[in-house]
Amino acid sequence: MQEESQKTVILHGFSQEEALAVMRLVKGASSDPAGLIFAMTTEQSLERPLKQTLADLAEEHGYFKRPKT
């Protein structure tokens, strides 16, 4: 499990339109918008420990930020 401090926003109960608006606002206020992680809750994520969810999100974010060869 990756133990990295990562700025993460987890949204719960928002419509897709509301979530997109929140993401745009947060990115606009950030000095590093590409470094932010956004996620919506799922039934599975609500059952997991937050620490594990954050680690999984950071790992996934790192994977997608890697240069493609």
pTM for the whole structure: 0.82
Place of tokens 């590409």: 34
Span 51-69, average pLDDT: 88
Q: What is the number of domains present in the chain? A: 1
Spatial neighbors of 33 by CB under 8 A, at least 6 apart, are 27
The neighbouring-strand residues paired with 40 are 11
Q: What is the domain range of residue 55?
A: 8-65
In a domain, 3, yes or no: no
67 pLDDT higher than 50: yes
Residue 48: what residue type? R
In a domain, 48, yes or no: yes
Q: Residue 54 in contact with residue 8, Cβ under 8 Å?
A: yes
pLDDT in tens, 18-31: 999 999 999 999 99
Residue 4 binned pLDDT confidence (cut-offs 50, 70, 90): low
CA separation, residue 41 to residues 9, 14, 20, 66 (Å) = 10, 10, 14, 25
